[in-house]
Amino acid sequence: MDSNLIEKYKQEMRNFQRMSKAVKPTMTEPSVSKPAAPPKQSLPDGQGSISANVTAIRQLYPIPNAKVTIFEGDIDNMQVVDTALTDQSGKTKNFILPTPQKNLSLESSNLQLPYSLYGMLVQADGYVDNIHLNIPVFSGVNSVQGSDMMLLETAGVDKGPFIFNELQQYTL
């Protein structure tokens, strides 16, 4: 090998090394933008909210455009509070609802429930209607009610509606 070529290569490497010491590149982490978290909804005392998550086939598939009706009272005498359609992910808006004040849960002598009970009717084309009764809504809290619907063709003889009683006793 030609010794002049080797010396020329060595000289280029020294020059390159000197230049790299003079200019120090700054290595920065690439910026990763996190998805914006939805704004936390602050509810005043005496108001709570409920939203629905409507799915099919053991909660695997969301049902878009399902009609969700929130009501007070029983099935035969319901007073409609609000209605909305589900989005592509099977979710509704937050329905803002009146509730008892939070301080009711602090008084052991109080006989009034410290939460309100609402009903939810879920309807979608091709599915059996679902009715959820006695959904508790607490002041300052967003309750999420799931509703897994059954296809009409798989429901067999029972064409519904299917009624679910969500009532539980909450010890506060």
pLDDT digits (tens, 9 = 90+) for 25-48: 555 555 454 554 455 567 888 899
Q: In the chain, what are the domain boundaries?
A: 47-165
pTM score, whole prediction: 0.70
Higher pLDDT, 115 or 91: 91
E-only strand ranges, 31-114: 47-56, 61-62, 67-72, 79-85, 95-98
Q: Give the pLDDT confidence of 133-172 residue by residue, as tens digits.
A: 999 999 999 999 999 999 888 766 667 799 999 886 655 5
Q: Give the pLDDT confidence of 71-108 residue by residue, as tens digits.
A: 998 888 889 999 999 999 999 999 999 999 888 767 77
Q: Give the separation between CA 105 and CA 161, rounded to whole angstroms.
A: 34
Q: Is the peptide bond before 161 cis (omega within 30 degrees of 0)?
A: yes
Report strand pairing: 162-165 vs 130-138: parallel
Q: Give the separation between CA 124 and CA 133, rounded to whole angstroms.
A: 18
Q: Residue 157, exposed/middle/buried by CB under 10 A (0-12, 13-18, 19+)?
A: exposed
Position 117 pLDDT exceeds 60: yes
Superfamily classification of domain 47-165: Carboxypeptidase-like, regulatory domain (2.60.40.1120)
Band (pLDDT 50/70/90 cuts) for residue 55 is very high
Band (pLDDT 50/70/90 cuts) for residue 60 is confident
